[in-house]
Amino acid sequence: MKTDELIHLLATDDRPVETTAIEQRFAVAIAAGILGAGVLMLAMFGLRPDLLTTMALPMFWGKLVFAAALAAAGLALLRRMARPGMPVGNAALWLAVPPLVLWAMALMALSQVSAAERMPLILGSTWRTCPFNIAALSVPAFATGFWALKGAAPTRLAWAGAGAGLLAGALGALVYALHCPEMAAPFLAVWYLAGMAIPTVLGAVLGPRLLRW
Amino acid sequence: MEIVEERLRGLLLQGLDADAAAYQRFLKELSAHLRAFLRRRLAQRPDEVEDLVQETLLAVHNQRHTYRPEMPVTAWAHAIARYKLIDWLRSHAVKEGRNDPLDDADELFASSDSEAAEARRDLGQLLRTLPDKQRLPIEYVKLEGLSVVETARLTGLSESAVKVGVHRGLKALAAKIRGMA
């Protein structure tokens, strides 16, 4: 086929284009990812039995705000990475804010207790399972996030994959917080982030394989 | 450069708004820039240039929903060309030219070349592997240069079926090229 013939052919495919198609796909991906994680959480772990009373505690909301803020920053970054030639700008910096705030809170909490109490504060009672549970709950959003990126044109595939993994991890953590009994900032600062790191690394590995266009 | 940016941007925005003639001019002008850019970058492999021009045009078309009006068209098109070139170099394990930085968007639009060479890969051959619903509309529109209305009449498909067929066929074509790499 000659290039001019191809150009003529491409110009025939002239249906108007939605410039927010990427955002729409991410909205669907996030809604489906949260829903999927919710179903998995109820099936695998169940809500924490004292959910209603814990809802009165600020730390319960702190966990949700932390996960939601990270998801929002991840999404802002991802919708830029999904477009060729769009500078990432400050979106990457915003990503650092939620963990930095959490780490500051954790250090403050650790400095207020005696040395012997520090390890229990970090390990809580569920450190062995927490990261893997978060990773498990991130699976639906991981799949839908990659589906959304398949409808876009990221040019740095490993980074885009990592971004989708991080978004999935943050959404997994958001839903897991409804089950998780841990309330100490030092615990969250280590194990929640470890749980999110699992899908992030996996996304970086799978990105170059799955996202080519 | 700013004149090129403004003209291309105008044409692309009209194209995205379903103005086929403006869109065709956009693609035509872009293809000349792509050709000059790739001829320089693939100086050792002149036979591959037209293939990559076509593959990049197809990518630009299939990804045109990723363009945002607030972005410079030149930066957007350059990023796509750069991605396609790097992808090609990688999958052909070519080392040459990998060391030159590819970050300058102006490089793509600094020159243009409208002398198309023969493409080595025959997209027509790939086309024959598509299902009839996609192949027929594309073949009529491409080979005969027919309009959508005429193609619809000849194939007995509805006009929207012709458009959907072309649209899906172009996506499938891009996927097949990807599978070959």
Residue A12 contacts B, CB cutoff 8 Å = yes
| Residue of higher predicted confidence among A166 and B120 | A166
Label residue B144 by pLDDT band (50, 70, 90).
Answer: low
pLDDT value, residue B99: 59
Q: Which of A48-52, B81-85, B143-147 shows the highest mean pLDDT?
A: B81-85
pLDDT value, residue A27: 97
Q: Which residues 89-108 in chain B show a CB within 8 A of chain A?
A: 105
Tell me the per-residue pLDDT of B150-160, one tens digit each, with 9 for 90 and over. 888 888 888 88
Residue A10 contacts B, CB cutoff 8 Å = yes
Looking at CA atoms only, how far is residue A166 from chain B in angstroms? 22
Label residue B96 by pLDDT band (50, 70, 90).
Answer: low
Label residue B181 by pLDDT band (50, 70, 90).
Answer: low
Q: Do B68 and A83 touch (CB under 8 A)?
A: yes
Residue B128 contacts A, CB cutoff 8 Å = no
User: In chain B, what is the straight-line distance between the N-terminal and C-terminal CA atoms, in Å?
Assistant: 33
Q: What is the mean pLDDT of chain B?
A: 86
Label residue A121 by pLDDT band (50, 70, 90).
Answer: very high
Average pLDDT over residues A120-142: 95
Q: Do B79 and A85 touch (CB under 8 A)?
A: yes
Average pLDDT over residues A4-24: 87
Tell me the per-residue pLDDT of A170-204, one tens digit each, with 9 for 90 and over. 999 999 999 999 999 999 999 999 999 999 999 99
Which pTM does this prediction carry?
Answer: 0.88
- What is the value of ipTM here, to two decimals? 0.87
Label residue B162 by pLDDT band (50, 70, 90).
Answer: confident
Nearest to A155 among B58, B79, B127 (CB): B79
Q: Do B76 and A86 touch (CB under 8 A)?
A: yes
Query: Would the pLDDT of B98 be above 60?
Result: no
Q: Do B65 and A21 touch (CB under 8 A)?
A: yes
pLDDT value, residue B119: 78
Q: Do A11 and B27 touch (CB under 8 A)?
A: yes
Q: Do B124 and A1 touch (CB under 8 A)?
A: yes
Query: Would the pLDDT of B100 be above 80?
Result: no
Taking CA–CA distances from A81, the nearest residue in chain B reads B66
Residue A24 contacts B, CB cutoff 8 Å = no
